[in-house]
Chains A and B, each alone.
Chain A
């Protein structure tokens, strides 16, 4: 039996009808058409489904869609503004930090939340912040480079 679920995603309110056992990831991908968030492991082991909920990165595959009601959900689709890409996105592209790109949306969300809380993270702090996101392609080096570069750009932009 479907129930009505009210979600706020990337600043926009949505009202959808879903079965209660749907996860937030399923609601985003298959109901709202926000396929940027990926599913890699089914159950909390990989981080591909990471979205920002109330300012913190969380796993949408372990969040019930109904459990996200009343909370502020941000996905990779909300990272760019009409003015342009988030510096993280541009730096990921420039540094080859997205190879297959499948882990990328989740990693971007973890990184974005990090930079919101800590504008000048050390490399070690970046590693810690991304330690819940598996990437199988890059060996992480280019991802760390990209986050460092984006942090520097953000700091320059708002001193």
Chain B
């Protein structure tokens, strides 16, 4: 059996307790929530923190609530199952509920949390492997080595951002709330990712994500989430597409399209240059084609995921088109 490395375990009951422990064990610890990303990585000896601080006991971070202005806040310790099954999320944030419900398999969704999903380590065929395997390979930039096997001459790790909920949250304009021994801050989720596969978020090691805040959504917005994977369960995305389309009162004319794709490089990619294509138009076949074309131009799958990147690039516009058509039909 693959064994975990040794560590000391702490189970604080409150946020303050957790932050105190973080100060005490500075630079020597990691937080653990559901553990469904961290523990496999630790079994692969990618992380060997001397201390684990569990966030499970922080019941105050397990909630889905409507805020005064109509926005929705979701506690970082809320499980993916709870989000996927929540009536509120399904009604108000359908793309997020869909994304949460498509992560891994049922057991992992029962364990995995939203905070953990937002912080999911980047993934790569040359990285998510045992120590033995990586040693046989000669290691890589992201861990213990000096070379990237995906972009041979690359100076930067391009391991794939692979979290399902994140692209959906970005299209919805979400922000993360962080708390550290030094105080609290809030960052737009879009700005949370650095694009460096080795450490792909700007979160400081001792910062705890307490909640994800989703602002009130424009009326007339239709959002959906598409996850492409080889197997229909227990599979990370090999391409994922979050879409939010804002329609005017007439339900036909489009104001804006938010399109975020992931499972490409180290951060989710927002497909740009769409505003000019869609604003004030109905989503006709030509307009849809134009959006799909932008996705094709801007999305560049890599060999960090072991499914033919050329095929993934080729089908990206196909799935974008289908997502847009679904949004049109949902009217």
A and B touch in the complex (CB under 8 A): yes
Given contacts A110-B106, A132-B104, contact A21 B3 (CB under 8 A): yes
25 A–B contacts, CB within 8 A, in A order: A19-B6, A20-B8, A20-B9, A21-B3, A21-B4, A42-B1, A43-B2, A43-B39, A44-B36, A44-B40, A44-B104, A47-B105, A47-B234, A53-B110, A57-B106, A62-B40, A62-B111, A64-B9, A66-B9, A110-B106, A131-B106, A131-B232, A131-B234, A132-B234, A134-B234
A-side contacts of B34, CB under 8 Å = 62
- Which partner residue on chain A sits nearest B4 by CB separation? A21
**Bitwise interface map of A from 47 to 69 toward B, beta carbon under 8 Å scored 1, else 0:** 10010010011110011101101
CB distance from A132 to the nearest CB of B (A): 3
- Asked if B108 CB lies within 8 Å of chain A CBs, one says yes
B-side contacts of A83, CB under 8 Å = none
- Asked if A81 CB lies within 8 Å of chain B CBs, one says no
A47 to B233, CA, bound (A): 12
A interface residues, tally (CB under 8 Å): 32
Q: Are A67 and B56 in contact (CB under 8 A)?
A: yes
Across chains A and B, the number of contacting residue pairs, with CB separation under 8 Å, is 92
Which A residues contact B (CB, under 8 angstroms)?
Answer: 3, 19-23, 26, 39, 42-45, 47, 50, 53, 56-59, 62-64, 66-67, 69, 110, 128-129, 131-134
Given contacts A21-B7, A44-B40, contact A59 B107 (CB under 8 A): yes
- Which partner residue on chain B sits nearest A69 by CB separation? B11
- Asked if B300 CB lies within 8 Å of chain A CBs, one says no
B-side contacts of A3, CB under 8 Å = 9
- Which partner residue on chain A sits nearest B3 by CB separation? A21
B-side contacts of A129, CB under 8 Å = 106
CB distance from A79 to the nearest CB of B (A): 17
- Which partner residue on chain B sits nearest A62 by CB separation? B39
B-side contacts of A58, CB under 8 Å = 107, 110-111
B-side contacts of A42, CB under 8 Å = 1-2, 43
